[in-house]
């Protein structure tokens, strides 16, 4: 799973606590409390319920384990009905949302085993500040899915990770895939003149 906590993309009226790039998220919100997450394909949330979301390259699946949930497709011509407890929504890339009662066997089989149980509270684990621990240098392959994500994320990481462009291997990856992340052009070529391809 690739996820970002507390995303601030400047256009989030949901106040989402998580941005899901790919993988699985189980979102549990206490009674009377709203919880939300973002994804390029759709935003999702629940108030006082539990929602399981799986994000794949070909779409997203959302299951309302308990309480009401909602999925809001980002495409302007799409809408999805609210999810009642026990309902599941399949949202394919470029397709229309499909609502079903209950989960599919494939969904259950692919779901992380720990999601079968009620999530334990993690509040005490984050009650105090924990100093970060360096794991090593970030390779381009680690960052590339985020660098090539939707535009607000691309802009965010072009500013946040600009110093990494000084690393020869990282820079090589950025230059090679520049069409997928044009926000890096002024970082790579401050003069404003990118080299022309040789034919």
Q: What is the CATH number of the domain that holds 35?
A: 2.60.120.1440
Give a yes or no: residue 28 inside a domain.
yes
Cβ(80)–Cβ(88) below 8 Å? no
* Maximal CA-CA distance, the chain: 63
Residue 75: per-residue pLDDT? 86
Residue 14: per-residue pLDDT? 67
pLDDT along the chain (199 residues), means of 10: 85 78 93 90 93 93 94 88 94 92 93 86 77 90 96 94 96 96 95 63
Residue 161 vs residues 116, 136, 154, 183, 196: alpha-carbon distances, Å: 37, 15, 10, 12, 25
Q: Answer yes or no: do 26 and 108 share one domain.
A: yes
Give a yes or no: residue 13 inside a domain.
yes
Task: Identify which of 112, 86, 115 has the alpha carbon closest to the alpha carbon of residue 99.
Answer: 86
Q: Answer yes or no: do 25 and 88 share one domain.
A: yes
Structural domains counted in the chain = 2
Question: Residue 54: which domain range?
Answer: 2-119
Residue 11: per-residue pLDDT? 65
Rounded to two decimals, the pTM is: 0.83
Residue 184: per-residue pLDDT? 97
């Amino acid at each position: 799973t690739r996820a970002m906590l507390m995303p601030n993309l400047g256009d989030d009226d949901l106040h989402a606590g998580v941005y899901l790039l790919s993988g699985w998220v189980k979102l549990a919100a206490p009674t009377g409390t709203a919880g939300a997450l973002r994804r390029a394909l759709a935003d999702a949330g629940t108030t006082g319920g539990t929602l399981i979301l799986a994000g794949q390259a070909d779409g997203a699946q959302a299951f309302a384990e308990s309480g009401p949930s909602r999925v809001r497709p980002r495409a302007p011509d799409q809408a999805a009905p609210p999810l009642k407890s026990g309902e599941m929504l399949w949202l394919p890339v470029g397709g229309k949302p499909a609502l079903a009662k209950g989960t599919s066997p494939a969904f259950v089989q692919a779901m992380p085993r720990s999601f079968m149980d009620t999530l334990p509270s993690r509040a005490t684990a984050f009650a105090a500040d924990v100093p970060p621990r360096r794991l090593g240098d970030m390779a381009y392959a680690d960052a590339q899915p985020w660098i090539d994500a939707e535009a607000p994320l691309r802009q965010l990481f072009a500013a946040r990770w600009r110093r990494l462009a000084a690393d020869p291997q990282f820079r090589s990856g950025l230059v090679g895939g520049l069409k997928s992340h044009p926000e890096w052009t002024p970082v790579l070529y401050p003069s404003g003149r990118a080299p022309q391809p040789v034919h």
